[in-house]
Amino acid sequence: MVSKIGKILVVDDNQGIRRALELLLPLHFAEVKTIPSPSTLVSTLEQFRPDVVLLDMNFYTSINTGNEGLYWAGELKKMAPEVEVVLFTAYADIALAVEGMKRGAFDFIVKPWDNEKLVATLTAARDKAMKAMGRDSSNSAPRMTVGLPEQSEGSMFWGTSPAMKNIRKTLDKIAPTDATVLITGENGTGKDVLAREIHAHSLRSEKPMVAVDAGAITETLFESELFGHVKGAFTDAHTDHMGKFEQADGGTLFLDEIGNIPLHLQAKLLRAIQSRSVVRVGGSKAIPVNIRLICATNMDLEALVREGRFREDLYYRINTVHIPLPPLRERKDDIIPLAQIFLEKFARKYHRMLTGMSDKAVDTLKEYRWSGNIRELQNCIEKAVILSEGTTLSEKDLQLEGPVKPAGTTIRAVNDYEEERQIRDAMERTGGNISAAAKMLGVSRPTFYAKLKKFGL
């Protein structure tokens, strides 16, 4: 028998839904309160002090956010981080509910709802909230345990492919040195992860690794961001500013998307790399910097050099050791172990009692092309875990349908195709919310704006 403990606050503008829940929920929870609008949410939160808020995704309000549910879910987690939020959504808004979970919501319920699932979800959310608040709960849901490959968060998954084994051997040789490294590969292959792995195994590991998304820096701020500026150098330079080169002094500087740096700025970057010193904007003093440089790109730099779009001298300066990361489709034996790692990670994050994948799901994962590589696989598993309802991830949960790009496509064409597809999908799933779409894809707003402009979106 379920104990009647916990306090549930329902926020929904549909009177019929509120009445139905006023009959159902008191059978399972100690206190239940319903309100028709988030306009009184703050005061109700302070007075009622719920364990869980069941929050509708859409209201007729003046808030210009694209979706009120996402906005209020974020506000709730700011005001009361210990309170769990369960989103109440129509089927058409599932993509937004998925984004809400990524922002901290406990789970979501689709209307029309199943009473048993609704109560079970609210109970699990209540148990988590009461545990966070230091209060006892007699029927906490057990944590899942799945026997999966050991993998620390953010570390490199080496797998079993010959290419990755060779890269690991190379890393063992170069990591203790200060050799400049160029990492190339398609989007989503883990270039940034490999860069962190090199730094972690270097003699500089106790010093900072400073990462720079070179493609996200506007031309006007390029020198200031990388080299710093002095007070008064320009209108908004109210204080001295230390650039990324100085911040990385003694450690590693990681320049991602280096192929996106405009040609006229490449000369300034080359000068700093060659001299291992920088001059702040508005200053005259050369400041020495002791850095280990790692660069990454998804572009064919040799082709860019031939086209006159990348300086040949800069290319050779950053290419002391070249490590090409293979796409996921060339390391098929690693797909399922990686999927299992992501399954465990997201099952824990989203409180899903998943014990594995169906045979059909495994076959689907193996056969899919993965033009977006590991990042696409991770996003696929995350979404599947969120949408799953059973204890086993099914082929249907994966939602892997649609055209597959031909095998003969070049790296740059595959990247463009995949980038545009992911950007369109993210914009559709977030209702055109640029900040949410950029966060979903794991890029900065400036980078996302640049991508939108690139594809004319």
Residue range 31-49: average pLDDT?
A: 87
Tokens linked to 396: 């249907």
The pLDDT, as a whole number, for residue 353 is 81
State pLDDT tens for residues 182-218: 999 998 999 999 999 999 999 999 999 999 988 778 8
* pLDDT recorded at residue 410: 33
pLDDT of residue 143: 31
pLDDT band at 64 (very low <50, low <70, confident <90, very high): very low
pLDDT digits (tens, 9 = 90+) for 213-267: 887 788 878 888 899 888 887 777 778 888 899 999 999 999 999 998 989 899 9
Among 35-39, 340-344, 377-381, where is mean pLDDT lowest? Answer: 35-39
454 has pLDDT over 90: no
Q: At residue 401, what are phi and psi to the nearest 5 degrees?
A: -135, 165
Per-residue pLDDT, 182: 97
pLDDT at 14: 87
Give the chain's domains with CATH numbers: 7-132 (3.40.50.2300), 162-324 (3.40.50.300), 331-454 (1.10.8.60)
Distances (CA, A) of 41 to 26, 37, 45, 81, 119: 20, 7, 6, 15, 22
Q: Which residues contact 56 (CB under 8 A, 6 or more apart)?
A: 11, 12, 13, 14, 69, 88, 89
List Cβ<8 Å contacts ≥24 apart for 400-405.
400/364, 400/365, 400/368, 404/368, 404/369, 404/371, 405/369, 405/371
Query: Alpha-carbon distance 256 to 260, whole Å?
Result: 9
Q: Please provide residue 78's backbone torsions phi and psi, each rounded to the nearest 5 degrees.
A: -75, -45
pLDDT tens-place string over residues 2-37: 458 899 999 998 888 999 899 899 989 999 999 988
pLDDT per position as a tens digit, 112-157: 888 888 998 999 889 888 887 766 554 433 333 233 334 445 578 8
For residue 322, what pLDDT is reported? 95
DSSP per-residue string spanning 381-418: HHHHHHH--SSEE-HHHH---S----TT--HHHHHHHH
Which of these, 354, 418, 428, 429, lies nearest to 103 by C-alpha position? 429
Q: Give whole-number Cα distances, 104 to 52, 211, 350, 397, 435, in Å.
A: 13, 26, 9, 21, 16
Looking at residues 166-170, what average pLDDT do you find?
93
Judged by DSSP in three states, 380 sits in helix
Look at 33-42, 59-68, 311-320 and tell me which has the smallest mean pLDDT: 59-68
Matching residue, tokens 């972690």: 200
Query: Taking all residues of the chain, what is their mean pLDDT, rounded to a whole number?
Result: 83
Query: Given this model, what pLDDT does residue 413 score?
Result: 34
Task: Annotate 300-331 with DSSP letters as a single string.
Answer: -HHHHHHTTSS-HHHHHHH-SEEEEPPPGGG-
pLDDT band at 1 (very low <50, low <70, confident <90, very high): very low
**What is the pLDDT confidence band of residue 176, given thresholds at 50, 70 and 90?**
very high
Q: What pLDDT is attached to residue 58?
A: 77
Which of 199, 157, 156, 158 lies closest to 181 in space, CA to CA? Answer: 199
Per-residue pLDDT tens over the stretch 398-451: 988 643 443 333 333 345 656 777 887 777 666 677 776 776 776 766 677 777
Report which of residues 60 and 446 the model is more confident about: 446
Instruction: Specify the 3-state DSSP secondary structure of 214.
Output: helix
Higher pLDDT, 75 or 25: 25
* Tokens of residue 101, six digits: 């979970």
The type of residue at 299 is M
Average pLDDT for 270-282: 92
Portion of the chain with pLDDT greater than 90, in percent: 40
In one letter, which amino acid is 331? R
* End-to-end C-alpha distance for the chain, whole angstroms: 54
